[in-house]
């Protein structure tokens, strides 16, 4: 069984996996491979849902992480973090709306919304990994 202290690593792995699935899924649809695109996006959705479950469990049991960096790196870190949080809130309604449009076969509207959803979702997944590396490996608290 994993300890609470191990969960930031799991969360980073889930974020990285989501990033890969989103990028591959985008490549699949650009190449006209709809079934592969669908599979990648469903997998990205599942991995992101697992991320959210682990994230909520982790923060309910461990509280908020503290950043140990000092000097000019602090405003850099907190700028990335604040943008990450804002975009994470924005993505919550965007992803389901984009998925529902696809499920209903409204591909014209799905495509238009996905042009916003994908970059926001990618920012959240990539910045999540960046925040993890900065807070856990480069500038740990204490």
| Residue 76: alpha-carbon gap to chain centroid | 19
pLDDT in tens, 19-71: 999 999 999 999 999 999 999 999 999 999 999 999 999 999 998 888 999 99
Q: What is the pLDDT of residue 64?
A: 82
Q: How far is it, in rounded angstroms, from Cα 54 to Cα 13?
A: 12
Tell me if the pTM is above 0.85. yes
Domain ranges of the chain: 4-138
- CA separation, residue 82 to residues 27, 55, 79 (Å): 29, 17, 5
Q: What is the pLDDT of residue 1?
A: 82
Q: C-alpha dihedral over 66, 79, 51, 55, to 10 degrees?
A: 30
């Amino acid at each position: 069984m994993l300890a609470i202290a191990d969960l930031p690593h799991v969360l980073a792995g889930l974020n990285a996996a989501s990033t890969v699935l989103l990028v591959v899924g985008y490549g699949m649809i650009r190449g006209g491979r709809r079934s592969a695109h669908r599979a990648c996006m469903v997998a990205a959705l599942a991995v992101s849902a697992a991320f959210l479950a682990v994230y909520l469990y982790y923060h309910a049991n461990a509280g908020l992480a503290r950043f140990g960096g000092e000097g000019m790196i602090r405003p850099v870190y907190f700028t990335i973090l604040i943008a990450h949080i804002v975009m994470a809130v924005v993505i919550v309604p965007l992803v389901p709306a984009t998925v529902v449009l696809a499920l209903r076969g409204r591909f014209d509207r799905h495509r238009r919304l996905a042009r916003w959803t994908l970059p926001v979702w990618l920012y959240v997944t990539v910045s999540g990994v960046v925040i993890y590396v900065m807070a856990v490996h480069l500038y740990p608290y204490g």
